Homo-oligomer: A and B are copies of this chain.
Amino acid sequence: MKIAIVGTGMVGQALAGRLAELGHEVTVGTRDVAATMVHTEPDGMGNPPFSAWAPAHPTVKLDTFAAATADAELIVNATSGNVSMAALTAVGADNLAGKVVLDIANPLDFSNGFPPTLFVKDTDSLGEQIQAAFPQAKVVKALNTLTAALMVNPKLLADGDHSVFVCGNDAEAKRTVTDLLESFGHTDVIDLGDITTARGTEMVLPIWLRLMGTLNTPMFNFKIVR
């Protein structure tokens, strides 16, 4: 599949690398290609910049938001939640129309330090805001409840015996995303319902962040035992 990744950070790199490895045609979108390749500092979490990651992934292309997404069949929102709307606006409604948009972002607000709060929650969600802003996109919220390494390689933990969720209004788009997640190795993809159920998955972040502190690792995930 022809896939565009919006976002050059850790989540974008993880998705791009894994999708390319699985044989997909992957282009990462960024605001300014030259600036992205010039930037050589790690991000705030100490993760390598795209310019350091790219040489090891020669099949992954880098292009502007619009050029990367124009011909894509599926678009991944792998930006930080606080810049998601700006990045998707730069992609443009026309480039999102009719496409499956896998939204991984969380509405985390770090402006008051750790732990972050959520800038939208409970009666609305980032997933819903994106769907409302781009009504012709087929938004599917998924993978926002676990760390990047496990999003794309679930079998790194307990041979993949844990759960992920899909939320969205379009059944076919959820099927496409579910197939993609299963190709990563996920074996328990739970369809929570329409895009309003993204509220629940985004509101999992506060306990996720505290668990990371308690367990001293991000390499854990929720399993829905039933």
Binding site for B on A (CB under 8 A): 117-118, 121-123, 157-158, 161-162, 165, 190-193, 197, 199-201, 203-204, 206-211, 213-215, 217, 219-226
CB of A32, distance to nearest CB on chain B (Å): 34
Q: Are A207 and B206 in contact (CB under 8 A)?
A: no
Among A165, A211, A215, chain B packs the most CB atoms within 10 A around the CB of A211
* A18–B199 CA distance with the chains assembled, in angstroms: 34
Q: Are A197 and B210 in contact (CB under 8 A)?
A: yes
Copies in the complex: 2
> Among the listed B123, B158, B197, B213, which residue makes an inter-chain contact with A225, where contact means beta carbons less than 8 Å apart?
B158
A-B contact pairs, 29 of them (CB 8 A): A117-B122, A157-B225, A165-B207, A190-B211, A190-B214, A191-B214, A192-B207, A192-B210, A193-B214, A197-B210, A199-B206, A200-B206, A200-B208, A200-B211, A201-B207, A203-B203, A203-B206, A203-B207, A204-B204, A204-B207, A215-B226, A217-B226, A219-B226, A220-B226, A221-B224, A222-B222, A222-B223, A223-B223, A223-B224
* A117–B162 CA distance with the chains assembled, in angstroms: 27
B-chain residues with CB within 8 Å of residue A117 when the two chains form the complex: 122-123
CB of A127, distance to nearest CB on chain B (Å): 13
State whether A206 and B122 are in contact (beta carbons under 8 Å apart), knowing that A193-B213, A193-B214, A222-B224 are contacts in the complex. yes
Residue of B nearest to A203 (CB): B203
Interface of A is mostly: mixed
* A42–B200 CA distance with the chains assembled, in angstroms: 29
* A203–B208 CA distance with the chains assembled, in angstroms: 11
* A206–B123 CA distance with the chains assembled, in angstroms: 10
CB of A186, distance to nearest CB on chain B (Å): 13
* A165–B213 CA distance with the chains assembled, in angstroms: 14
* A209–B201 CA distance with the chains assembled, in angstroms: 11
